[in-house]
């Protein structure tokens, strides 16, 4: 369980996530990093779900992006196809929010590659809280980073599986 938000505003793309790792109702770690950046291709990603599964998927996404010369759309579709059809990957339980300068997607293990309406994505246990807060804040003069940070803070006040140890990556 976690909260990830991806915000696109004024030519800036930011992904933010909380740092809480829980096992059942117990907090195991409060400072985990669930957001990553693929520097070479200007892609940011956040993960909700099992940590090991998310890291495996991030490595696969990075390989797909390289294989498809930085085309995030194609890489996302190819990863979703593999995720759904591969016997090993099918068991991975995670959601990904990914973005580059042009596109933002939610990628799921059911084969979904969803492009959200609007410029904000929220996933994970507190994703809907962060999404709602972010949508309201998009109408302000706040930057994408400020919106992402505040959206996670709001979610952390509501969702018991989310804390306010916020990690941010941006392009």
HSE of 69, CA atoms in CB hemisphere, 13 A: 0
| Cβ pair 154, 142 in contact under 8 A | no
**Whole-number Å distance between alpha carbons of 146 and 143:** 5
Compute φ and ψ for 18, nearest 5 degrees: -80, 175
Catalytic residue among 2, 51, 56, 110: 2
| Catalytic (active site) residue 2 | yes
CB atoms < 10 A from the CB of 128, how many? 15
DSSP 8-state secondary structure symbol assigned to residue 14? E
Cross-strand bridge partners of residue 108? 95
Which residues are part of the catalytic machinery? 2
């Amino acid at each position: 369980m976690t909260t990830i938000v991806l915000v696109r505003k004024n030519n800036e793309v930011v992904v933010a996530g909380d740092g809480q790792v829980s096992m059942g109702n117990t907090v195991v770690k409060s400072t985990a990093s669930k957001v990553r950046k693929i520097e070479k291709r200007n892609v940011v990603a956040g993960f909700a779900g099992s940590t090991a599964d998310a890291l495996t998927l991030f490595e696969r996404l990075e390989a797909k992006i390289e294989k498809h010369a930085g085309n995030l759309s194609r890489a996302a579709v190819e990863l979703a196809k593999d995720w759904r059809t591969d016997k090993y990957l099918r068991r991975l339980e995670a959601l990904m929010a990914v973005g580059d300068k042009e596109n933002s997607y939610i990628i799921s293990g059911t084969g979904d590659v969803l492009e959200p309406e609007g410029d904000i994505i929220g996933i994970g246990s507190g994703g809907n809280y962060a999404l709602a807060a972010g949508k309201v804040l998009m109408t302000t003069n706040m930057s994408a980073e400020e919106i992402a940070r505040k959206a996670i803070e709001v979610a952390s006040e509501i969702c018991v599986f989310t804390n306010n140890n916020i990690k941010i990556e941006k392009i």
